[in-house]
Amino acid sequence: MFDSVLIANRGEIACRIIRTARRMGLRTIAVHSEADAKALFVRMADEAHCIGPAPARESYLVAERILEVAKKTKAGAIHPGYGFLSENADFAEAVEAAGIVFVGPPASAIRAMGLKDAAKALVEKANVPVVPGYHGAKQEPAFLRERAINVGLPVLIKAVAGGGGKGMRKVEKLVDFEDALESCRREAQSAFGDPRVLIERYVQAPRHIEIQVFADRHGNVVHLFERDCSLQRRHQKVIEEAPAPGMPPEVRAAMGRAAVEAARAVGYVGAGTVEFIADGSQGLTEDGFFFMEMNTRLQVEHPVTEAITGLDLVELQFRVAAGRKLPFAQSDLAIDGHAVEARLYAEDPEKGFLPSTGRLVALRLPEGEGIRIDSGVVEGDSVTPFYDPMIAKVIAHGATRDEALDRLAEALDATVVAGPRSNAPFLAALCRAPGFRSGAFDTGFIDRNLDALGAVPQPVDGIAVARAARLLIEAEERRAVHGAGHGASPWDLADGFQTSGPRRIVLPVLADDRTVEVFASWSAAGFVVEAPGGIMDDGSSDAASAVVPGHAGVHVVRKGRQTFVRLPAISDAADAHGGGDGVVKAPMHGKVIAVLVAKGEAVTKGQKLAVVEAMKMEHALVSPCDGSVAEVSAAVGAQVAEGAPILVVEAVGG
């Protein structure tokens, strides 16, 4: 066994690898970008080395710098984690050529499975069923359009490289094909450096089920059962579970055999995942699943497999990489209970799941029986626009699926994220959604149920507003009495005395930048704040999950949902009229990759005007009205902050 490992990754996966490596007595070496200099994984490692600026292409994707650090530190092995260089065959070869153990499959297996088109052709020869479609070399748009017609709409256009939902578009109408193809290619080029695509028939009522496989260097290959990853948004996994609901034993066995044969076909070694798409319209059947791709690395969702098998997959990776045999046969493995994982992201479901960056003013993650947390950040850290906005993975294990889902929902309710927005309440709603609980779901479940899941603009939380407004007024009273002096504030007399009875004022506050009027009352009985809906707060009880003072306001988190309340500043009135509805702003920090209109050009409401890329995903900016482009404020290639003006549209008759 080697005595040290360099982790060529960051965030929660680096932290997770370090924990197992430490337990095994291995020296841990971290590499990091300038943006991650103070990150949790850097602090956890035995030593850490900077490898470049914040953008991944200038740091985590620069193989030469990582190898330089590995040689300098005399690392015995390199663990690539997932993402970045984990499925880069050239990197795996370079590691081995340097005399360092690569904790992953051989480069030949990575190459064989790294491109979806070649992988499909390979597994077909091993009698593994594949989705009908086109996965050839010709890439001319007209030819691909013809292939889509032959396959039959709807189809999926998919990047031949990479994964994670990037470079993937569903096309239901032929008129949309060219735009979808162009966008898919552009995103694939940005994320993977390869714009090639394939065409695949869209499977109706699709279930995304994957099989965890493990192989050693001695010819032993087993599967560790399945994971259901069907709860997705924009082809990105949201909640994963093991085992798959409604999975008959004979179908599990058939999928397992197919996955093992796919792994054998490429001489696989280590941990890998064979992904299948299943037609869920008639339930899971032996002839109703098709190979999609193989991920030649550890997966984000591996903890649910660990929970139901009792295995540490990272430890197994280390032992297999060191030449050890697998310590079990297929017949030794069994499923214990049920596990569910939720991906807690810094994003705002009420605003189209836009990434939300900034300092984590508060971060309190749940604990309890059957709960596991994998995180790469702690309170005080920042979520930056440079990388995936994951805060943590929350994993629940129980004797039954219902018990695991109940535990996960309660854990998400107790989660406190203040500063950036989070998807915690959305995830909790998913755990409780009747269709998901009953097993009546597929990959389109989330998109069909956005309203019911709370992933649309919600009314202001009156309880949070009342609680926050009370605290802000009390703080203002203290400031007036002890700081600026009497007469500096409309509520600087707190004794409740006035000749006409109890004193009562109307006070506008800003709750998530929406103006809300609250009533503050002082009487001999005490001080009470009333928010819309008759919601009262007299200070006798704390109805909020958490109250966190922030910059110029208060964050209140109730059942995972955050409300930021502040008193209005004089400048707010001016700001409210600064740009008008015609200003099209960047919805998040990112890079302008396309401006599709010019100054003076006539546009219609809803027309796509520009595209901003953030976290390697494209976000279209559309016109808020019919009119003409009065100003183009940002150029292609420009890095823009959240809220930065991109264009101005002057309304017809404006």
Residues acting as catalytic residues? 297
For tokens 């330089």, the residue is 68
Residue 326 — φ and ψ, nearest 5°? -60, 135
Rounded Cα distance, 346 and 311, in Å: 30
| CA 23/CA 530 separation, integer angstroms | 54
Q: Which of 245, 229, 395, 249 is nearest to 334 (CA)?
A: 249
Write out the DSSP string of 220-261.
Answer: -EEEEEEEEEEEEETTEEEEEEES-TT--HHHHHHHHHHHHH
- Tell me if 603 sits within 8 A of 623, measured CB to CB: yes
User: How big, in percent rounded to 5, are the helix, strand and coil portions of the chain?
Assistant: 30, 30, 40
249: number of CA atoms within 13 Å, CB side? Answer: 2
Beta-bridge mates of residue 328: none
Of 269, 244, 224, nearest in space to 103 by CA:
269
Q: How far from chain centre, in Å, is Cα 519?
A: 39
Distance CA(535)–CA(530), nearest Å, equals: 6
Closest CA to 110 of 81, 88, 130, 91: 88
DSSP state of 483: I
* Complete edge-to-edge strand list for the sheet that includes strand 27-33: 47-52, 27-33, 4-7, 77-79, 101-102
Are 6 and 66 in contact by the 8 Å Cβ rule? The answer is yes
Distance CA 288, CA 278 (A): 6
- Smallest Cα–Cα separation from 235: which of 259, 270, 200? 200
Going by their DSSP bridges, the two strands 206-215 and 390-398 should be labelled as: unpaired
Question: Within the chain, how many helices (H) and strands (E) appear?
Answer: 17, 38
Contact 59, 82 (CB under 8 A): no
C-alpha–C-alpha distance, residues 143 and 556, integer Å: 55
Evaluate whether 378 touches 40 at the Cβ level (below 8 Å): yes
Helices (H), 535-592: 570-576
d(CA 128, CA 333): 23
d(CA 136, CA 532): 61
Which residues touch 334 (CB under 8 Å, ≥6 apart)? 309
For the record, the structure tokens of 529 come out as 């704040």
Indicate the SS3 state at residue 120: helix
Helix, strand or coil, per DSSP, at residue 183: helix
Distance CA 192, CA 170 (A): 19
531/538 Cα distance (integer angstroms): 11
H or E element, residue 15 = helix 11-23
d(CA 565, CA 516): 10
Phi, psi (degrees; rounded to nearest 5) at 413: -60, -35
